[in-house]
Structures are given as C-alpha cells and as structure tokens.
Amino acid sequence: MEKCSVVDIFCGVGGLTHGFVLEDFDVLAGVDADASCRYAYEANNNGAKFIHKKIEELAASEISALYPRDHTKILVGCAPCQPYSSYNKKKGKKDEKWTLVSKFADLICDVKPDVISMENVPELATFKKGEVFKSFVVQLENKGYQVTSYPEIFCPDYGIPQQRTRLVLFASRFGKIQIIPKTHTPDQYKTVRQIIGNLEPVESGGSSTKDLLHRTSQLSDLNLRRIRASTPGGTWRDWDEDLVASCHRRVSGDGYVSVYGRMEWDLPAPTITTQFYGYGNGRFGHPEQDRAISLREGGLLQTFPPDYEFVAPNDLIRIKTLGRHIGNAVPVDLARVIARSIAQHLLNHI
C-alpha cells in the first residue's frame, strides 16, 4: 500500500508482519521482548527492523519517529494470549501478562496512529468479566477512533488449516473497518492432508536430511505405545487401562480428552500451540506416523511459507524454542486477512 507504514508490537518471529508484507504494506519495524526472535523476523521481512524491548520500556516517541511524516500510520499487535486462554483458566494459572493489553492501549493513545488492529484469543472479551477488553475499546473511542471487533473469527472460513477461533479488533480515525468476507465454505476448508500430506516420513526423534526443520521430538517408550494405540480423532479413552495416565483416571481428568490424540487427515488441524511438538500436549499426533508433528509441519499449519527461515544457517535447532516461536505467531494467512481488510478500508476512505 502506497504511503502506508506499519509497526508491529509483540511481533515475535513475524507472522503478523509477514502477512502485511505479502499484501504489499511497508512494515517498518517489529517490537518484542524475546531477543531470540530477531533472526527470523529480520531475515524474512526485508527492511523491517527488529526492536528488542518490553512494551513497558518502549517510549511512544520511539515508535512515532519510525513513521514518515506524510504516511498513513498503522499500528498492529497481538499481546501474549496465554493469560486469557481457556487452558490456563481451567488450570487456575495466574499470569500478570494480561496487563500488556492495557499497556498496548496506552501506547496507541500516545502514538496516535491512524489505523490499529489487535488479534487475540476470544476469551479476552470475557476475561475478568470483560473489563480488560471493554477498557481497551473505551480508551480508543475516547481518543476519536471508530472501533469494530470480531470476537469469533473461525480461521478455516479464511482458508487457514486450523480449527482456531480468534478475536480481531480494528480501529480507525477514518471510519469503521469491516473484515473482508469469508473466502471458504465448510466443504472447501483446507485440511491436514493438503498441508502436510506430501512431506517425507520421519521417525520419532528424527529429522529429514533435506529439511532440518522437518524434525520431531523423541517419544518415550510409553508414549510410543500410546500413539500406536491411537486412531485419528480418537482419545485416550480408547486405550487399554495400563496406558491411561493416572491423572486422567481421576474425575478431574475427564475434561482433557484432546491430549494424546492424532490429527485427522481430512479436517483442519487443531489450534497450533507453543507445545505442538509434544504428543501429550494436545491432538498433535501425526495422523499415520507414530510421532508428534514436526516443527516444519507446525509452521506450515500456521501458514508460514515453506521457505520461511526460523534459524540462522549453522545455528542449533532447539525444538522448544522454535515450538514457542511458531506456536505464538499469528497465522500468516490470518494476518493477510487483517491486512486486506485495512487495505480495502483505506481505499474507501482516503
């Protein structure tokens, strides 16, 4: 987009940024507290600068100075969503990261961009009885922004191969931003088979010689027995009693039926999380092979291009680190939906 510039807060390895880049926006910079994201962010988003800072340390003047004077200023971000996730609420975990949404609102009000977008989990809208989200919206409205929010965007409706539902918020000085129409009907949803079905087989704990990111974590002997007893779409309730984890034998374990599961070939994948590389962390078992999905498969299901560079040449591939990077990212194709919605809005209003 000509004379439009974007800055991405909580940028991670660049999923949101890359969607804007692919839609021809000029992304100036991304800001994140995790320095290990720098290489992937800068290597794949030519010209975008990685700024290693916590939002609490970020001065509005530092962001404002990045924008050319005559450009439409766009500020986007996805504050860490773990505090609002249904999993963490079920586990009773407390996480002070929820305050980052409020800090993002403060930054917006100080920077005064023309257009804003925020992506997060739907639970943000009800977290603490909706107070955090309502306060965010009111703060923006009080500064003259027109806000529209879409609390339940179902990713398969936009060609994203995950059964992932997200909250997307837009705000603009020029009017209300409408999200673009859905691009896929249920019979057109992209499936696990379409995305990873052609990758070469690898074993548990193994990796491809052609693609070092097509690498899997090592399953224990017990988990190998468990996955061999698992069928796509099934649960641990189908296993023999000796395979069931002790925590699942208790009544309190009944709700966790989606762990230790295999994906289904002809459906979208489950939501890719930061621990998708672990078979016991969700329905992350490969549909046929006796292993969890690989780092590459997780990246493809997050709609990163197959040539996206997550690690520098000759650097060690750390499964936990890259799992966190990939799982935390905004799916690139969802970022493209957000970017297209903003582009259409700007064409109509300026």
Question: Catalytic positions, please?
Answer: 81
Q: Within 10 A of 227 (CB to CB), how many other CB atoms are there?
A: 21
Between CA 226 and CA 203 the distance in angstroms is 15
Residues in the chain, overall count: 350
* DSSP per-residue letters across 252-290: GGTT-TTSS-B--TTSPBPPP-TTTT-GGGTT-B-SSSS
Between CA 12 and CA 222 the distance in angstroms is 34
Between CA 12 and CA 19 the distance in angstroms is 13
**Do the bridges between strand 4-9 and strand 72-77 make them parallel or antiparallel, or are there none, so unpaired?**
parallel
Query: 67 near 74, Cβ under 8 Å?
Result: no
Look up residue 97 and give its amino acid. Answer: K
* Burial of 242: CB neighbours in 10 Å, binned 0-12, 13-18, 19+: exposed
What are the start-end ranges of the H helices in the chain?
15-22, 38-44, 60-64, 86-91, 99-111, 131-142, 192-196, 221-228, 246-249, 295-301, 319-328, 332-349
Between CA 316 and CA 295 the distance in angstroms is 14
* Burial of 241: CB neighbours in 10 Å, binned 0-12, 13-18, 19+: exposed
Between CA 303 and CA 301 the distance in angstroms is 5
